[in-house]
Chains A and B, each alone.
Chain A
Amino acid sequence: MNTNGHVVQATNLSKTYSTGGREVEALRGIDLTIAPGEFTVLLGPSGAGKTTALNVVGGLDRPTGGELTVAGEVIAGNGHRAREGQLDALRRKHIGFVFAQFHLLPTLTAVENVLVPMIWEDASDRGRAEGLLRRVGLDHRLTHRPDELSGGEMQRVALARALVNRPALLLADEPTANLDTHTRDEIFELLRELSDEGLAILFATHDHELAERGDTVLRLSDGVIADD
């Protein structure tokens, strides 16, 4: 395992979808390394392949080519193909996702939403969930349900949920796309702080202004990372 301490190490990663006889090359051989505490922005227009890249790196989808190691786990490479259970465990233990649509469970309170990833680990730590909600600035919204929260508050809950199993990597798929600029900046600031504390972040966005504030910016278009 020669990841040199990197959380993500991807070489020549590709992903081709075949639907109805048509082939779509969503990723055409991208290289990617992310170190602990590194804030990487994946910048690209809609359809560039950002979501695909995050899904593959996060073990939600399998690459069709190339090599990929995440948090020390070989996901693909040298003919190896991760089993589904290995991908589930990878997501469970090492990865947190946040999405543009927040994706909270509507019948659960903020604390309960944060506790969901712990269910799969047969664990439950309400104190930790509350601590994380306080950390993201929601100490007054612990028992509110999603329909009682603003967009920014929902994304904070989603962020706390993504962090509850102490992941090494946060995959954020346009998490500020549905927020106003002020809230967007607040959320971004929060992510900045988290990366300063050692969390590796891969942040997909089409927002050039935000991209400038990352440690590393990768420009993705048509499944290829432009080298500049």
Chain B
Amino acid sequence: MTLTRLAFKTLLQRPARTLLTIVSVAASVAVLFSLLSFNGGYQAGLKKQMQQMGVHLMVVPIGCPYEAASLVLEGGEIATYLSDDIVEKIAEMEGVAIAAPSLMHAIVRPEDGRTDIYLGIDGEHLALKNWWRLNDGRKPGAALLNNPNSLLMGWDAALIERREEIGEKMWVPEIETEFAVTGILEPTGTQDDGFFYVPLNTAQKLFDLDGQITAVQVRLTDPALAAEVADELEVAFPGAEIIRMEELLGSMTALMDSARALIFAIVAVVIAISGVGVLNTMLMSVFERTREIGVLRATGAGRLHVFGLVWTESLVLTGIGGAVGLGLAAVAARGVESIIKRFVPMAPVEAMTQFDPRAALICVLAILGVGLVAGIYPSLRAANIRTIEALRSE
């Protein structure tokens, strides 16, 4: 027989009340754990997505950077251009892994009610977008842009043009050019799907923009170098605007941060409520057991023993509740995740709530902290029970 075992046994005196308290602790731990591991997963997912964008910096003609960036992202046309001799210089800079030039040009076709966007690219662009796949499963290589009339089509572009076959010819009357389809890309879920990709040289010739480009997209060897490299680029190319992609994502992250603050406020309230529940349960139990505590004192227990017993009981309550809650959360994670995803902007596609031992540890420590704090007052009350009066009480 030990103090801990006595604590367990004592909690069985009121099984329904003990169970209810454990359930309430378990519920709040489950919520806490889900939110914590979701949060970790979300950040990891976001990071991964940024990585997947593969672009850390964008060099564009000077102007409002965000407008320019969103134009490029959404496929608008930018009036001014950069000279393509900067590409090589950028590529040689320290920390730059890939520098991919592109020339964007729109062909408006009012009779069809659409605007086709042509993007002149080279092999570097394909290296940058290394997650692209052709619809036959192959990885697109520079060979797809070998011929001046090569045409690589985004999934949506191909759909609109009803092109399915490699080698098919496509006549574009506005520029009086015939292209040959060299590949069709698998859908990526981004604006890339809607573009017509042609060799950069071809685009420059067709659109009368010799030596001109609209953007250089840069991948760094380490995303952490973004600020440093951006500063260097700014100095080296005064006529260019340098956009850090993480800054674009920053506003979204800020939105997520405020949502998270709200979530954690809710968690704090839930935890506090379960703490009050533990306090209440233990206090009731101490009042009911006044005589028993007197008996323990008669058998030789000191105040410290009584304090320790009641404190252990509240720890056992929260400990079991915490374990049950973690188990529950691990099992129910998928369901919770699908609910959360509906309320959060740009949730990563893959599972976010893998079992996160760090989150579990935080939960365990938090709930044991709740148990310790909530147990103090009832334990003090128990320790201060006057033995002879307790023994006389019926």
- A residues within 8 Å of B by Cβ? 51, 55, 58, 60-61, 84-85, 88-89, 91-93, 95, 97, 99, 103, 105-108, 112, 115-121, 124, 161, 165
A119 contacts which chain B residues (CB < 8 A)?
Answer: 1-3, 6, 301, 305
B3 contacts which chain A residues (CB < 8 A)?
Answer: 119
A121 contacts which chain B residues (CB < 8 A)?
Answer: 300
Any A CB within 8 A of the CB of B149: no
Tell me which of B1, B13, B303 contacts A115 (CB under 8 A): B1
Q: A88 touching B300 by the CB < 8 A rule? A: yes
B contacts with A: majority SS: helix
Any A CB within 8 A of the CB of B337: no
Q: B2 touching A124 by the CB < 8 A rule? A: yes
Tell me which of B10, B296, B387, B391 contacts A99 (CB under 8 A): B391
* A136 CA to B305 CA, complexed, in Å: 28
CB distance from A125 to the nearest CB of B (A): 9
Contacts known (A60-B387, A124-B1); A165 close to B298, Cβ less than 8 A? no
Any A CB within 8 A of the CB of B295: yes
Contacts known (A106-B13, A119-B2); A55 close to B388, Cβ less than 8 A? yes
* A107 CA to B299 CA, complexed, in Å: 17
Any A CB within 8 A of the CB of B219: no
Tell me which of A60, A106, A116 contacts B388 (CB under 8 A): A60
Chain B 1-41 per-residue mask, 1 if CB under 8 angstroms from chain A, else 0? 11100100110110000000000000000000000000000
Contacts known (A103-B295, A108-B9, A119-B6); A165 close to B300, Cβ less than 8 A? yes
Any A CB within 8 A of the CB of B292: yes
B295 contacts which chain A residues (CB < 8 A)?
Answer: 103, 105
CB distance from B224 to the nearest CB of A (A): 55
CB distance from A146 to the nearest CB of B (A): 12
Any A CB within 8 A of the CB of B302: yes
CB distance from A105 to the nearest CB of B (A): 6
Q: B299 touching A97 by the CB < 8 A rule? A: yes
Tell me which of B12, B299, B303 contacts A116 (CB under 8 A): B299
Any A CB within 8 A of the CB of B297: yes
Any A CB within 8 A of the CB of B56: no
* A120 CA to B1 CA, complexed, in Å: 10
B299 contacts which chain A residues (CB < 8 A)?
Answer: 91-92, 97, 116-117, 120, 161
Tell me which of B1, B2, B12, B298 contacts A97 (CB under 8 A): B298
B305 contacts which chain A residues (CB < 8 A)?
Answer: 119-120
Known contacts A58-B298, A88-B303; 15 further A-B pairs (Cβ under 8 A): A60-B387, A61-B387, A61-B388, A84-B302, A88-B301, A93-B300, A103-B295, A103-B298, A105-B9, A108-B6, A112-B1, A115-B1, A116-B1, A116-B6, A161-B299
Tell me which of B10, B292, B300, B303 contacts A92 (CB under 8 A): B300
B11's nearest neighbour on chain A, judged by CB, is A107
Any A CB within 8 A of the CB of B291: yes
Q: A120 touching B9 by the CB < 8 A rule? A: no
Chain B 225-239 per-residue mask, 1 if CB under 8 angstroms from chain A, else 0? 000000000000000
Q: B2 touching A120 by the CB < 8 A rule? A: no
Q: A120 touching B298 by the CB < 8 A rule? A: no
A112 contacts which chain B residues (CB < 8 A)?
Answer: 1, 9
Q: B302 touching A107 by the CB < 8 A rule? A: no
